[in-house]
Chain A
Amino acid sequence: MTVSVAFDKARAEGRAALVGYLPAGFPDVRRGIEALTAMVDAGCDVIEVGLPYSDPVMDGPTVQAAAQQAIDRGFRTTDVLRTVEAVAATGTPTVVMTYWNPVERYGVDRFARDLAAAGGAGLITPDLTPDADPHWPAAADAHGLDKIYLVAPSSTDARIAMTTAACRGFVYATAVMGVTGARATTSELAGPLVARTKAATDLPVGVGLGVSNGDQAAELAAKDGIGADGVIVGSAFVRTLLDHPDDPAAGLRALTALTEDLADGVRRGSRG
């Protein structure tokens, strides 16, 4: 399994792919799987499952709060694999997004093997750049997993070239200088970063950090504009569930509505 399947399909339909994120174990493992499945049913092309971690330096308050809930309820690393297995069974490419230490602790090769066995497509590593450590690329290659590294507005062209050369699946472009969290407007840094990244690679470029509605998704996906191949949404999904703590059914309905709005956005973008 690789996320390329989903990006190829979206490209064939002349649109960007919608990539949706939730941390595993939030609000609990079972309901987390229900929520991610609802996102698949409503139009997410790729699912990112987060691995809640005690020291999430790239996350803003929304994702931190969700991850902390999961940890407080006894989240274990194996819960991510259970979640991936359930979501990947829908046929939608599913990747894990994780800080590095839980993987190192689990055992890098063992994690790669178990993730592949669960049907996972690969790993997004927000605090592991390709030059940080050689163990992950070796394990990922051995188990046929996608390696999705981040590029940032502050990345030099040389680092973008090095990073994209190490990626498999897609390249994750962080469109703002800052932590995760929904933002009212699309960053003016997104366009130049996507252009610089596309100049370095033929891989699809997913753009994340800050997207919260269909209009922003359309703006990122617009072929004559920013031209993202994928629109990545995290905090807005998390927020939706956080806003419905006592009414899971209403939470799922709101999640479906948000997904549909975003899925419409990535399609509108291709027309505009």
Chain B
Amino acid sequence: MAGLAAVFGSGAMTNSIEEIENADCILIIGSNTSVAHPLIATRVFRAKAKGAKVIVADPRRIPIILQSDLHLQQNLGTDVALINGLMHIILKKGWQDQTFIDERTENFEELKKVVEHYSPEKVSEITGISVEDLEKAAEYYAKAERATILYTMGITQHTTGVDNVKSLAHLAMLTGNLGKESTGINPLRGQNNVQGACDMGGLPNVYTGYQAVVDQAVKQKFEEAWGATLSDKIGLTATEMFPAVLNGKMKALVILGENPVVSDADCLHVEKALKALDFLLVIDIFKTPTAEMAHVVLPGAAFAEKEGTFSNTERRVQLLRKAAEPPGEAKPDWQIIQELSSRFGYPMDYASPRAIMEEIAKLTPSYGGITYDRLQGDGLQWPCPNTEHPGTKFLHQGRFTRGKGLFSAIEYKPAAEMADEEYPFQLTTGRVHVHYHTGTMTRNSPSLEREISECFLEMHPEDASELKVGEGDWVMIASRRGSVSSRVKLTDVAGRKTVFMPFHFLESRANILTNPTFDPVAKIPEFKVCAVKIEKMDRSDKSISSPP
């Protein structure tokens, strides 16, 4: 988000999902697409069937490599080096789109200077990818008529997350793969409505539609609409809140549909912060481990029990219709928020989600033309500034949101915590195909739980044999932050000394281990790389493994 906003002026998937199937080259980087976004993987499969070149860059041999023409198995956290290396080759061979660079971008010379230092040999050394494969990837991507990039958390969840995203944006600009069909740079959102949550100002620095809280004109507009005095100071991100609690700067917290006790990096630290709160209110559909710690829990309505809209990864706003009444005392979130606000002395009196949508359209330029009446069938993609506007399939046609696309110089920086003598393994985390996030929903499903019911640590067979560990044996995994136990799964999906753990399981919380050090701009923690040590354990020792 922050990375794309810096380069283009707006942070969202530039193109649409269906366009992927007409791309001539697809670069998938840091995305386990067929596992985490299966319906987007369908479009990749269709593009492949039509002859597209598919490049997958991932430290693990994930299932979608079976559909790829080339798998680049980079070392953890070396994405900037990899992308600089690709740009180096493209410039050396003269494969860049000079017209696009001249007409639509600025600061190209600065990029060129930095990229010059990333020779294929040097990049091969850093990333572990052969020079031959680097050259092949650069050729596939640069020579394609329409090349598109898909990425997810494997790119963003790093201390260099913003650098990674900017580098990808540079690669697309360098080759003119923006502002036209089946190209672009496409962050695939991990949740059905995370785009919508951001669009609605669920970030500490913006109101709806990314209108800055520091902008006085914006502030005045919202003050008039809401009849209230508003702050023009930027608030705290989620990752900044927990330290603020422990510093005594924050006393109370409302958590809505989140389970940070399982999902946040260094989650033991999060638990400590939650315990230190004077008051914790959790709104959720199940009693999650986070809700267990709350002073008050309010039951929310699930997706099928409420009305409203979801804005998906391709900026498409879709209408949600209620299929069943919420059980017991559960209420839709908007009603809970409205009642809370009224009791705090700011009465809210929206009659329905439709009434809220009318206000959104009035105050949000990019949602200006989106109304319930127009949201029949397939919905509308923002920007949609007025009620005659058909919505926007792809962004940046003819002009970037910020005017010209901005190149900058980005140097490779290693991950914050590299393996060393004491912690000789690099751990990366991710998802499995049957579970979603902290398992609040999926682990309540018998058919999904039947498929995978417990955590596992993926380990290279040669590393395992050195540790005298066999398939299914229990090991204790420890980082500088804590330790967890898990069974071992032998596999050569990743290289030597790189281990993987899914983060869905409360019993073996991968996020006890992960590094909370975050990207300086986006404040996103480095979930994807930390250093760990691993010891074989006696199965009967299991009880001692998870700290309380």
Does A pair with B? no
B contact residues vs A (CB 8 Å cutoff): none
A contact residues vs B (CB 8 Å cutoff): none
